[in-house]
């Protein structure tokens, strides 16, 4: 949405400028050194003189005593220019680089004249904030479905009286065309207006809105159509020498077939002569996003994890072969069922093959709060991530590569796991009813959270549900089914082959990818609770179907549990991580009663007639338990 993009960037800018002004005012109170006692650098003196000339009226309002307090005087001018930036006046800083340059002058002068300790205090903290956040704050990514992109391109070409065969020339020399949303169909108008807003944002604050993600990418054409549309908004000039581009166009591969075709798709993209000029304009960096949520929902945890790892490895090889740099964007959720788990372990387990690899990771809202709300935990998590990046970079590529035997084992187990998962979730005639009745999915749909509806098709059918509410519902009823179902079938069947169990143990000991996968499963198995899951199953009205389906689920859970113990050679899950186990178990006395209470409330709510005056109160009570259980499990979806 163009208006939302513009408003968000505006609010971020105002918040940062206001923060900087407050910090500058505080510094001005503290840095009161007098020229009678200390000297300052000639560069700082010259800068103050320029400010006095350019801000003559404001300089006249300053206390005459500040003429002998150069640091305070300079900070007063900085404060005034920040205010001008807030009010969009002529005296404003045009960029954060100008503010940083003024702060650097203060820093250099202090250090050159014996005040290093002062320079390393609040001034250093402010300089770092400006360096990191600039006038932008959080850089915004725009995401649009491939179908909307393709339809918009078709509509534009139809309006021009041409067809997509002319896309290459039209991308190099974009035709003049109106970007006013009202002159197009709703979806096309919104996309063109958003691209126009991105171009304006990039003009005012370079880097603030420089990423367009094409979700559900299936082919190179999806990205090339987006590149054409971006040119209409002035986001690139690829015919110039050298080419200019203000936008990264990022394919997002989410479904299994798209992940399997992803290396060929990226190869075709990087072979396109026009797109090569686009990359030249972006410093040779190609960003690719891998979607964990939809792939997991489609084929289960084990198959999805292996497909994502293979896609990452092969894409890295393709990009390196083209002499470009890959920035991989992991679209991980908070839960294992959506690619979650310890970030540092995931970084260490990345495949080899990338040329100067770069990484980008999504963090869910509740994960951000848990990791970064307190300075102590924020520093620890930052240290873990940086340490993992260093370890991954220094580790020999051979140590991260799987031998052919392990790869073959994963192929076999992924196929078996996928079949077991899809047989239940997509092919079992009774599963849809079990899902709707044994989980609070209908009530979750009424929660006032999230930016998108729970379903793409407006129903609660598994095929239509978005991944977040799908996983969230199974977290609530303590099944956690998307994070483990089918894994037991894959592991146990393979372990029964000749040498199979020893192969899996070897993989766990020596392959970071497989070890990370298994350790994530251990955490999931502790969070899941079949005792409580059985209580939720009693909400299913058809007793025979309830017993049949829960028996399947419970048997697969036991199969997964036992296989994990065999592979890790433990007597109990998380035996070698007692602190994590204790942390998870600490929550049970608080979570379990809330789960039982939720079951009771759901049963009572569903018995009430639609027009019963007590439904609203019951629904609010259920929603409160949903929030409470999510907080206790520290995961939503």
Average pLDDT score over residue span 56-76: 92
Q: 28 φ, ψ to 5°? A: -65, -35
pLDDT tens digits, one per residue of 417-439: 999 999 999 999 999 999 999 99
Alpha-carbon gap, residue 216 to 250, rounded angstroms:
11
Residue 333, pLDDT above cutoff 70: no
Give the domain-ending residue among 88, 111, 133. 133
Give, for 51, the enclosing helix (H) or strand (E).
Answer: helix 42-54
Per-residue confidence band for 597, with pLDDT thresholds at 50, 70 and 90? very high
Is 163 inside a domain boundary?
yes
Asked if 222 and 264 count as a contact pair (C-beta separation under 8 A), the reply is no
Q: How many domains does the chain have?
A: 3
Say yes or no: 333 and 457 in one domain. no
- Classify residue 483 by burial, with Cβ atoms within 10 Å: 0-12, 13-18, 19+: buried
On whether both 57 and 150 belong to a single domain, the answer is: no
CATH of the domain at 123: 1.20.1440.90
SS3 content of the chain, % helix, strand, coil (to 5): 65, 5, 25
Q: Is residue 337 part of a domain?
A: yes
Dmax over CA atoms of the chain, in Å, equals 92
Domain-embedded: residue 82: yes
635 has a pLDDT exceeding 80: no
Q: Is 139 domain-assigned? A: no
Q: What is the four-CA torsion angle of 577, 583, 586, 591, rounded to 10 degrees?
A: -110
Asked if residue 488 and residue 415 are part of one domain, the reply reads yes
What does the pLDDT read at residue 337?
54
Instruction: Report d(CA 431, CA 306) in Å as an integer.
Output: 26
327: part of which helix (H) or strand (E)? strand 325-331
* pLDDT score recorded for residue 359: 82
Q: 85, 113, 133 — which closes off a domain?
A: 133
Domain boundary among 97, 112, 133: 133
DSSP for 112-157 reads HTT-HHHIIIIIHHHHHHHHHHTTT-SPPEEEEEHHHHHHHHHHHH
pLDDT at 339: 56
Kindly state the average pLDDT of the residues 319-339: 78
Model confidence at 341, pLDDT cuts 50, 70, 90, reads low
- The helix/strand/coil state of 289 is strand
Residues 270, 236, single domain; the answer is yes
pLDDT band at 522 (very low <50, low <70, confident <90, very high): very high
Same domain membership, residue 161 and residue 121: no
Q: Per-residue confidence at 45, pLDDT binned at 50, 70, 90?
A: very high
Q: Is the pLDDT of residue 342 over 70?
A: no
Average pLDDT over residues 113-133: 94
Say if residue 187 is in the same domain as residue 291: yes
Domain assignment of residue 179, yes or no: yes
| 253 in a structural domain | yes
pLDDT band at 450 (very low <50, low <70, confident <90, very high): low
| 8-17, 39-48, 337-346: the lowest-pLDDT one | 337-346
Give yes or no: residues 317 and 250 share one domain: yes
pLDDT of 346 strictly over 90: no
pLDDT of amino acid 412: 97
Q: What is the dihedral of CA 581, 583, 585, 587, to 10 degrees?
A: -160
Statement to judge: residues 68 and 178 lie in one domain: no
Q: What is the pLDDT of residue 302?
A: 96
Range with lowest mean pLDDT among 211-215, 441-445, 531-535, 562-566: 441-445
How high does pLDDT run on average in the chain? Answer: 91
Residue 580: predicted pLDDT: 84
* Percent of all residues in the chain with a pLDDT value above 90, rounded to a whole number: 71
Band (350; pLDDT cuts 50, 70, 90): confident
Residue numbers of the domain that contains 312: 144-400
Residue 312 maps to which CATH number?
A: 3.20.20
C-alpha span between 630 and 445 (Å, rounded): 15
Same domain (yes/no): 200, 272:
yes
DSSP per-residue string spanning 234-278: TSEETTSSS-EE--EEEEEE-SHHHHHHHHHHHHHHHH-HHHHHH
138 within domain boundaries: no
Q: Are residues 594 and 579 in the same domain?
A: yes
Check: CB of residue 303 under 8 Å from CB of residue 256. yes
428 with 388, same domain: the answer is no
Q: Of 548, 429, 564, 406, give the one whose Cα is nearest residue 484.
A: 564
Same domain, yes or no: 57 and 101: yes
Q: Is residue 366 part of a domain?
A: yes
Per-residue model confidence (pLDDT) at position 389? 80
């Amino acid at each position: 949405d163009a208006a939302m993009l513009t408003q968000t960037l505006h609010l971020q800018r105002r918040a940062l400028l206001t923060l900087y002004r407050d910090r500058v005012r505080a510094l001005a109170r503290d840095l009161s050194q007098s020229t009678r006692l200390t000297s300052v650098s000639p560069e700082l003196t010259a800068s103050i003189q320029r400010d006095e000339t350019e801000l003559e009226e404001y300089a006249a309002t300053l206390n005459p005593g500040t003429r002998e307090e150069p640091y305070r005087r300079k900070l007063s001018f900085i404060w005034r220019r920040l205010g001008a930036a807030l009010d969009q006046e002529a005296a404003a800083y045009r960029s954060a680089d100008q503010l940083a340059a003024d702060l650097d002058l203060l820093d250099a002068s202090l250090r050159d004249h014996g005040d290093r300790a002062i320079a390393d205090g609040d001034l250093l903290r402010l300089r770092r904030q400006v360096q990191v956040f600039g006038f932008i704050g959080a850089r915004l990514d725009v995401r649009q479905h491939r179908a909307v992109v393709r339809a918009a391109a078709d509509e534009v070409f139809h309006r021009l009286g041409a067809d997509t065969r002319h896309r290459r020339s039209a991308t190099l020399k974009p035709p003049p065309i109106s970007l006013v949303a009202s002159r197009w169909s709703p979806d096309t108008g919104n996309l063109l207006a958003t691209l126009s807003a991105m171009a304006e944002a990039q003009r005012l604050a370079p880097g603030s809105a420089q990423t367009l993600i094409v979700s559900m990418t299936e082919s190179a054409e999806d990205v090339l159509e987006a590149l054409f549309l971006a040119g209409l908004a002035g986001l690139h000039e690829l015919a110039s020498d050298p080419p200019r581009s203000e936008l990264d166009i990022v394919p997002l591969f989410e479904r299994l077939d798209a992940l399997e075709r992803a290396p060929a798709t990226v190869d075709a993209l990087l072979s396109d002569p026009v797109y090569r000029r686009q990359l030249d304009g972006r410093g040779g960096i190609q960003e690719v996003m891998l979607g964990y949520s939809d792939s997991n929902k489609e084929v289960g945890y084990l198959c999805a994890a292996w497909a994502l790892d293979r896609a990452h490895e092969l894409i890295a090889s393709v990009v390196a072969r083209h002499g470009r740099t890959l920035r991989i964007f992991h679209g991980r959720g908070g839960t294992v069922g959506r690619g979650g788990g310890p970030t540092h372990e995931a970084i260490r387990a990345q495949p080899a093959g990338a040329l100067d690899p770069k990484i980008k990771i999504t963090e869910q809202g509740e994960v951000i709060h848990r990791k970064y709300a307190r300075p102590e935990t924020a520093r620890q998590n930052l240290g873990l991530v940086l340490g993992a990046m260093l370890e991954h970079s220094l580790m020999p590529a051979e140590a991260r590569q799987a031998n052919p035997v392990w790869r073959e084992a994963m192929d076999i187990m992924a196929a078996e796991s996928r079949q077991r998962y899809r047989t239940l979730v997509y092919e079992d005639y009774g599963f849809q009813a079990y899902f709707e009745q044994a989980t609070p999915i209908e009530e979750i749909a009424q929660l006032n959270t999230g930016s998108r509806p729970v379903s793409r098709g407006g129903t609660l059918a598994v095929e239509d549900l978005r991944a977040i509410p799908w996983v969230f519902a199974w977290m609530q009823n303590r099944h956690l089914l998307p994070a483990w179902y089918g894994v037991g079938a894959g592991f146990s069947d393979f372990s029964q082959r000749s040498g199979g169990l020893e192969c899996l143990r070897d993989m766990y000991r020596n392959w970071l990818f497989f070890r990370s996968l298994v350790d994530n499963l251990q955490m999931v198995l502790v969070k899941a609770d079949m005792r409580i899951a059985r209580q939720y199953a009693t909400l299913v009205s058809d007793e025979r179907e309830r017993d049949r389906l829960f028996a399947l689920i419970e048997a697969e859970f036991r199969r997964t549990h036992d296989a994990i113990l065999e592979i890790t050679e433990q007597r109990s899950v998380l035996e070698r991580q007692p602190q994590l186990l204790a942390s998870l178990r600490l929550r049970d006395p608080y979570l379990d009663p809330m789960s039982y209470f939720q079951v009771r409330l759901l049963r009572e709510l569903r018995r009430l007639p639609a027009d019963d005056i007590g439904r609203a109160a019951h629904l609010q009570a259920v929603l409160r338990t949903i929030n409470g259980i999510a907080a206790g499990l520290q995961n939503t979806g």
